[in-house]
Amino acid sequence: MEKPIVLITGATAGIGAATARLLASLQYPLIICGRRKERLAQLENELKDKTNIFTLNFDVRHRDEVVKAIDSIPLEWKNIGVLINNAGNAHGLDPIQTGNIDDWDAMMDGNVKGMLYVSKPIINMMIANNQGGHIINIGSIAGKEVYANGNVYCASKFAVDALTKGMRLDLNPYGIKVTGIHPGMVETEFSVVRFKGDETKAAQVYKGFQPLKAEDIAETIRYVMEAPTHIQLADITILPTAQASATTVKRTI
């Protein structure tokens, strides 16, 4: 069977880039989206010999950018079969009383509102195409457990979990699958961004154990995408073996 078109947000780094590379190697046609134009062009150039690629340059936090970008998708690319809502961010690790409001806005805008801005028009395309579809939302263990100083980031990821469940209910009549994937500790740019470029502090997060890699989550995404049509993998929490909860990690040092 012809492979479905897959749209990936946050495709220029981490889990998004790893997923794009894996799916391109399997010859899925890809719409790769990102806010960093240069990185997007580099990824397109890397993958264009493996599969058909279309790029969209926008920041999920800005509704007007999202609308303009999605409206620009050519007719031949509008039959999107899989949406991977991967774009998101974490900023700061402060107690609620000293948290930075700009950081709060960035997390709520990117992790929650951005996911909604992208999802609504793609969902309506899937409904109009009347061929089912699959939405995969990348959450976090922070959407399952609140931890100290995680406050707003955890709240944003709890919202992702709730929205995933709500989508599954609302889209059930249309045969659209909805999956939530909630990783634990994955070594990507995530902690560097959270600690505002402090690579030394970010490295301490993953010290003394083997964290997940972006490629591990990409493989999980592929697995749920390729499950038989009668199977909907609804909710997956994936952790490194050394991690038992959001705050319990067995370290060797």
Q: Please give the average per-residue pLDDT across 191-220, as a whole number.
A: 87
Q: Which pLDDT does position 71 carry in this prediction?
A: 97
pLDDT band at 204 (very low <50, low <70, confident <90, very high): confident
Ramachandran area for residue 24 (φ above 0: left; ψ -120 to 50: alpha; else beta): alpha
pLDDT in tens, 37-75: 999 999 999 999 999 999 999 999 999 999 999 999 999
For residue 6, give every residue at least 6 positions away whose Cβ sits within 8 Å of its Cβ, in sequence order, or none.
23, 28, 29, 30, 31, 80, 81, 82, 83, 84, 225
pLDDT band at 196 (very low <50, low <70, confident <90, very high): confident
pLDDT band at 99 (very low <50, low <70, confident <90, very high): very high
Share of the chain above pLDDT 90, in %: 91
Does residue 197 surpass a pLDDT of 80? no
Does residue 201 surpass a pLDDT of 90? no
Does residue 90 surpass a pLDDT of 70? yes
Does residue 203 surpass a pLDDT of 70? yes
Q: Which pLDDT does position 33 carry in this prediction?
A: 98
Q: Please give the average per-residue pLDDT across 86-91, as a whole number.
A: 94
* Prediction pTM value: 0.95
Strand partners, 138: 181
Does residue 161 surpass a pLDDT of 90? yes
Angstrom distances, CA of residue 13 to CA of 87, 162, 175, 187: 10, 25, 31, 12
Q: Distance (Å, rounded) from C-alpha 129 to C-alpha 39? A: 31
Q: Which pLDDT does position 227 carry in this prediction?
A: 97
Best CATH choice for the domain 5-238 from the list 1.20.140.10, 3.20.20.120, 3.30.70.2190, 3.40.50.720: 3.40.50.720
The one-letter code for the residue type at 17 is: A
Q: Which pLDDT does position 1 carry in this prediction?
A: 54
**50 touches 27 (CB < 8 A):** yes
Q: Which two tokens stand for residue 249?
A: 């990690």
Catalytic residue among 28, 147, 153, 206: 153
Does residue 137 surpass a pLDDT of 90? yes
Q: Which pLDDT does position 35 carry in this prediction?
A: 94
Half-sphere exposure (Cβ direction) of 8: Cα atoms closer than 13 Å: 30
Output the 3-class SS for the chain: CCCCEEEECCCCCHHHHHHHHHHHHCCCCEEEEECCHHHHHHHHHHHCCCCCEEEEECCCCCHHHHHHHHHCCCHHHCCEEEEEECCCCCCCCCCHHHCCHHHHHHHHHHHHHHHHHHHHHHHHHHHHHCCCEEEEEECCHHHCCCCCCCHHHHHHHHHHHHHHHHHHHHHHHHCEEEEEEEECCECCCHHHHHCCCCHHHHHHHCCCCCCECHHHHHHHHHHHHCCCCCCCCCEEEECCCCECCCCCECCCC
Q: Which pLDDT does position 70 carry in this prediction?
A: 97
Does residue 179 surpass a pLDDT of 80? yes
When the pLDDT of each residue in the chain is averaged and rounded to a whole number, the result is 95
Confirm whether 153 is a catalytic residue.
yes
